Chains A and B, each alone.
Chain A
Amino acid sequence: MASELNDEKLKDLKLKANQIRQLIITTLLEAGSGHSAGPLGMADIFTAFYFHILNHDPKNPNWEDRDRLVLSNGHICPVQYATLSLAGYFPKEELKTLRKINSRLQGHPHRASLRGLETTSGPLGEGLSQAIGMALVGKLDKKNYRIYCLTSDGEHEEGNTWEAVMFAAKNKLNNLTQVIDRNYIQIDGNTENIMPLDPLKEKYESFNWNAIEIDGNDIKSFIEAIEKAKSVPDKPTIIIARTIPGKGVSFMENDYHWHGKPPNKEEAEKALSELETLRSKLT
């Protein structure tokens, strides 16, 4: 993919992100459980990936030369499912089956259940290592595909994350880009109260990573950061994407109570109405 990012394309991406947010709300309402804040916050980044950045083929999800997107913090899968369906991996109607029996859409993603998923995740801190395994294969087989790994700030409390950070730098995996959802919330509250992570950019730089900090709800800056990462010769890159958890729904924004619960019917209607207002402003 990666066509030119003109104003028209950017507007189209913003509309898609809005549509994905609406799908997240309706899907979570139907599921009756699941996470709201993270998926809404990451809708812009998922849109940018599946509709602009990734070299992928929804009709041939196992295409050997595709770019791989590894979702480490699997609990935000409603945004991945909504995006995959919109990109043509499966019918949108199937979103209604999330978390229900006999569904391909497991509560946390299961690779073998759904085409288009690169891994199985949910237990935290494991995605970056798996992305490293894929990046090593890219290097060994001299492939041009890139590996992207989405992580959360909360899962940086897992020791495994830092084991992976050291390994990726040691092996100079410049075909690997990590995108951390730096939204400062986790289940129990603000990340800096639970286990301070700042200064994050400096931490990564001292671990020999290339680090770029951007507004993760700004599609244009995100895509520019992704492009910059491609030209780094000998280091993996982390894009610290500052996002607003619950983005687009006023009463969810920046409130950690929305980390792990879905909206009820009334809240969903209010959320959809707000998102519809935002959409009309875009057109």
Chain B
Amino acid sequence: MLNPDLKLNPKLFDQDVEVKPTRAGYGEGLLALGEENPKVIALCADLTESTYAHLFAEKFPDRFFQCGVAEQNMAAIAAGLGVSGKIPFMSSYATFSPGKNWETIRTTIIYNNSNVKIAGHHSGIMTGPDGATHQATEDIASIRSWPNIKIFVPCDSIEGKKATIKSASINGPVYLRFSRDKTPIMTTDATPFEAGKISVFWVSENPVATIFSTGYMTYYALLAAKELQRENIQVVVANVSTIKPLDQKNILSLIEKTKSAVTVEDHQVAGGLGGAVAELLARTLPSPIEFIGLQDTFAESGKPKELIEKYGMGVKSIKEAVRKVIERK
């Protein structure tokens, strides 16, 4: 059942559950930060409305910098702002930033330890009809090996707002990952958000597997958990909103109980959440693990829900992965 301690959205499983893109949380969080902290600056590379930075730009035009289609320049300008006492937030699509400007970020923000927050939007196949050029499905993998960065992947717009606000109080580089399409609201304003901690959204009395999910995919994991419950397979679902640093302690304590894991993410299965969990388990508590995500392929244009089914990331696939991982124990 849904964890009653977390004050999750009571209408979560309803047909008419409220939907909103996680990226809206970025815009709302940034606007709130702008009001409370004059050091907060926003930059964008010609995708101001798409990344919801327009909410900040309209209210605080003097603290917003339009960089044009120039992601490298945006990153290094942000680096200069960040070492000069400001808290810059830069947003674009994740394929371009941190995609196109990967080395600029590595040198001028990460190694240079500049206090920059990098918002990668349109992540995953949830980007839909724009096609694989605009679906960032390797962004986590491409930056997770950087020292000195924190990675947040909010599960809904409410968590997106909280993660954005939280990132401003962290002194150093943070990556925030958002998706384009409207997805169900799972949390409420009262749901706790703690950076660096997993959150067990679905609890069972005698779970036999743990599903670790991140981003909006936690919704699909919850649907799978609910259906599995009816089939007498008990699981727990942990929402992993911080990919780095990984909440090793609480992940291991769940694996000690369930002895198996399924990871669920809208990202390549290599190098993302699945990779992070697999590295931890291999090092500490070797256990069977199955990976839901893009299986070493690019996706294509289509409606997000169609793509999720076609690429084996839907409820049915998650349930199959759970059955398979239990058999492997």
Q: Which residues of A approach B to under 8 Å, CB–CB? A: 64, 70, 110-112, 118-123, 125-137, 140, 159-160, 163-164, 166-167, 171
The one of A110, A125, A133, A171 in contact with B80, judged by C-beta atoms closer than 8 angstroms, is A133
* B82 is an interface residue with CB less than 8 A from chain A: yes
Please give, as numbers and ranges, the residues of chain B lying within 8 Å of A122 by CB-CB distance: 107
Please give, as numbers and ranges, the residues of chain A lying within 8 Å of B270 by CB-CB distance: none
Q: Which of A111, A129, A159, A160 has the most CB of B within 10 A?
A: A129
Number of interface residues of B (CB under 8 A): 29
Q: Is the interface of A mostly helix, strand, loop or mixed?
A: helix
* B312 is an interface residue with CB less than 8 A from chain A: no
Closest-by-CB residue of B relative to A131 is B80
Q: Which residues of B approach A to under 8 Å, CB–CB? A: 41, 62-63, 65, 67-68, 70, 72-73, 75-86, 88, 103-104, 107-108, 111-113
For the complex, give the distance between the alpha carbons of A122 and B65 in Å.
26
Closest-by-CB residue of A relative to B45 is A163
Complex contact A132–B80 (CB within 8 A): yes
Please give, as numbers and ranges, the residues of chain A lying within 8 Å of B73 by CB-CB distance: 129, 132, 160, 163-164, 167
Please give, as numbers and ranges, the residues of chain B lying within 8 Å of A120 by CB-CB distance: 107-108, 111-112
Please give, as numbers and ranges, the residues of chain A lying within 8 Å of B111 by CB-CB distance: 110, 120
For the complex, give the distance between the alpha carbons of A45 and B77 in Å.
25
Complex contact B107–A166 (CB within 8 A): no
Please give, as numbers and ranges, the residues of chain B lying within 8 Å of A167 by CB-CB distance: 67-68, 70, 73, 77
For the complex, give the distance between the alpha carbons of A280 and B148 in Å.
50
Complex contact B76–A126 (CB within 8 A): yes
Complex contact A119–B68 (CB within 8 A): no
Q: How far is the CB of B85 from chain A (nearest CB, A)?
A: 7
Complex contact A132–B77 (CB within 8 A): yes
Complex contact A160–B104 (CB within 8 A): yes
Instruction: Knowing that A119-B79, A123-B103, A129-B77 touch, tell me 5 more A-B residue pairs with CB under 8 angstroms.
Output: A110-B112, A128-B76, A133-B81, A160-B72, A160-B73
9 inter-chain pairs at a CB distance below 8 angstroms, sorted by A residue, are: A119-B108, A120-B111, A129-B104, A133-B79, A136-B81, A137-B81, A163-B68, A166-B70, A167-B77
The one of A64, A135, A159, A160 in contact with B76, judged by C-beta atoms closer than 8 angstroms, is A160
Please give, as numbers and ranges, the residues of chain A lying within 8 Å of B83 by CB-CB distance: 111, 118-119, 130, 133-134
Please give, as numbers and ranges, the residues of chain B lying within 8 Å of A160 by CB-CB distance: 70, 72-73, 76, 104
Complex contact B79–A112 (CB within 8 A): no
With A119-B83, A140-B63, A159-B72 known as contacts, the answer to whether A133 contacts B77 (CB < 8 A) is: yes
Q: Which of B77, B86, B111, B112 has the most CB of A within 10 A?
A: B77
Complex contact A129–B84 (CB within 8 A): no
Complex contact B67–A140 (CB within 8 A): no
For the complex, give the distance between the alpha carbons of A174 and B113 in Å.
27
Q: How far is the CB of B95 from chain A (nearest CB, A)?
A: 17
Closest-by-CB residue of B relative to A126 is B76
Please give, as numbers and ranges, the residues of chain B lying within 8 Å of A130 by CB-CB distance: 76-77, 79-80, 83, 108
Please give, as numbers and ranges, the residues of chain A lying within 8 Å of B70 by CB-CB distance: 160, 163, 166-167
